[in-house]
Amino acid sequence: MIAQFSLSYFAQKSLAAALLGTTPRKIESIEVVGAYALVLEAGASYAIAIPLDELETEHDRQRRERGQALTVDSAPDGWDVTGGDEPHYVWADPESEYLACDCHDFAKQLELGRDDRPYCKHLAAVELSGRKQLDAIGNGYRSLSDAEAKAAGLVALADLGF
C-alpha cells in the first residue's frame, strides 16, 4: 500500500479524508503511484488521485493548528517548546538556514527526503510565537501617542542594532 510518503498509514488516511471531506473510516485504501496517492473511498468504483504535495500541505496545516497550543520560551541559541507529550528544542540550522527541531516528525521527514524543508508543530509554534509578539507590540503601540510610538520605535531599532 502506502510506504513512500507515509509516516503512518492512519495519518495518511486522516489527511486524505480531510481533503475529500470524509472520515478516515471511509477510506478503504491508499496507494502511491508516482507523485499521486490513489485514494479509494468505501463504496466508490474508482480511486481519486490526490497529488502528494497536497497531502503534505494538508499535513502542514494540521501541524500549524497543533502548534497553536504549544508554549515557546527562549533558550540558548534557540527555543524550548513545551505543552505537548514531551518538550522539544528548536534552533536555527546554520547549514540549511531554516529552523530545525529535535522531534521524531522532523527527523523522519529529513530521513524520507522531503523536497522542501521539513516542518513540525514545534516549528509552527516558534513561528506563531514570533507573530504573537509582533502583534502584541503593534497593539501596544496603538495606545501610544505619535511621539511615544516614535520613541519606542527608536528603542526597538537600537535593540536590533540599527
More confident residue, 114 or 108: 108
pLDDT for residue 96 is more than 80: no
Q: Do both 29 and 80 map to the same domain?
A: no
**What number of H helices and E strands is found in the chain?**
5, 7
- Paired with 91 in beta bridges are 78, 100
Q: Poorest-confidence range of 34-38, 49-53, 110-114, 132-136?
A: 132-136
C-alpha cell at 157: 531599532
What are phi and psi for residue 80, nearest 5 degrees?
Answer: -95, 130
Q: What's the confidence (pLDDT) of residue 142?
A: 56
- The pTM for the full model equals 0.55
What percent of the chain lies above the pLDDT cut of 70?
A: 70
Q: Do both 82 and 148 map to the same domain?
A: yes
Question: 3 in helix, strand or coil?
Answer: coil
pLDDT in tens, 123-136: 888 888 866 555 55
Sheet holding 48-51, edge to edge: 27-33, 36-41, 48-51
Which positions ≥6 away from 118 have C-beta within 8 Å?
Answer: 100, 105, 106, 109, 110
Closest of 149, 132, 133 to residue 141, by C-alpha? 149
Q: Do both 11 and 72 map to the same domain?
A: no
Q: Do both 8 and 87 map to the same domain?
A: no
Q: Do both 78 and 129 map to the same domain?
A: yes
pLDDT band at 88 (very low <50, low <70, confident <90, very high): very high
Pick the last residue of a domain from 46, 63, 80.
Answer: 63
Task: Tell me the C-alpha to C-alpha distance, in Å, between residue 36 and each of 5, 12, 48, 52, 80.
Answer: 10, 12, 9, 5, 36
pLDDT band at 35 (very low <50, low <70, confident <90, very high): confident
Q: Do both 54 and 74 map to the same domain?
A: no
Q: Do both 78 and 5 map to the same domain?
A: no
Structural domains of the chain, count: 2
Q: Do both 74 and 141 map to the same domain?
A: yes
Q: What's the confidence (pLDDT) of residue 7?
A: 43
Q: Indicate the average pLDDT of the chain.
A: 76
Q: Do both 28 and 80 map to the same domain?
A: no
Residue 4 belongs to domain spanning: 1-63
Q: Do both 93 and 161 map to the same domain?
A: yes
